[in-house]
Structure 1
Amino acid sequence: MRYAQGGGLTDAERTTRERLGLQAVERFEARQKNAKIAAALRISVRSAERWRRAWREGGEAGVLSKGSPRRPRLSEAQIARLERELERGPRAHGWADQRWTLARIKTLIGRLFHVSCTVEGTWRLLKRHGWHWQQPARRAIERDDAAVEVWRKETWPRVRARRSAGPGSSSRTKPGSRRLRRVPGPWAGSVRPRS
């Protein structure tokens, strides 16, 4: 089952769902069809199919709940190793530049510890252990402030003016500033473009 925003069933709902699964197992053993089981237990046919598949592969234990999902936990030794690997830098792990991103750290955790987690889970893990995001304190060496200022004063107003005069932006244009175009057809001579 998939739930929005990483949610899931409560313990009571999981117990109810497990009880229904065990009732379905009794009906599987009696060779009932999935549609009949779904109607009797008031579940979807798809759930009945999924439970039947789990029952075939793992028996009654295949239908039982695996428990609530939990965030991946790393031991203190694993956290210490992760910190050492992060200090070595991304280049040591095969990336082209020296920038750690959450996606890269997530991949590194998977490679080192065979633990799967989300990008958000990676951020929470790092935050719990004292890591925080950083923004470069210095500007790039290649930055030319004079060129940036010229671009901002000369080029950007032209780009902005072109964007606001494009199709679909009639709310930004002044009344009467639109040009009429000649349209082929019987009325083509009656409308002339302004000059």
Structure 2
Amino acid sequence: MKFNSSLVTLFLIISAFLICDSFQATKKPKKNIADMTDAEIDKIAEEWDKDEEELPDDEKPFHERKNTGQNIDVQEFLKNSKNAAESVKAFNKKNKPLMIFVEIRKSLSKLEAEDASKIWSTALFNAHYEVNRYMIDDHQAIFMVNDGSKAWEIKDYLVQQKDCLQVTIDQEKYPGLHIQKSEL
């Protein structure tokens, strides 16, 4: 029995067409994203993200970071600290964002006050403190730190500056060292 090559080719083309057609018949039609429910969108997002590598803990948003907890010897911790109260506060704010409010001497103009806070921010950056500075008033700035445990070290620097009136951390006020009582 001889087979004609054109007949075999025709048979293969028809078979391939029928197989493709059956696959397309079982395939679900695409749904418009506007018609999808929240659950369907979440499922698609999970499928999309399942093959991606997990971000390192320091690159995740703060609310998604793992709280590893730290084992600490309290007696040793308090013995090695200069100011036990500040050390405990700093420990409690570790890896949490914190705002430091800084009041600048009122005798400075708005531009001079902004320049002074910019210089302080740059000096802190050069000392490897991650600080974001925002002027909220003519003579008041916020220094935002991502690791709140560093706030008291930053406060120690800021209160030594000649144009710093006071620093406020967690509603506790620390007066500047070069300020007279009449200026407060």
- Shorter-normalised TM-score: what interval? under 0.3
Provide TM-score, normalisation by structure 2: 0.19
Provide TM-score, normalisation by structure 1: 0.18
Name which structure has the greater RCO, CA cutoff 8 Å, separation 6+.
2
Q: As a proportion of its length, which structure holds more helix?
A: 1
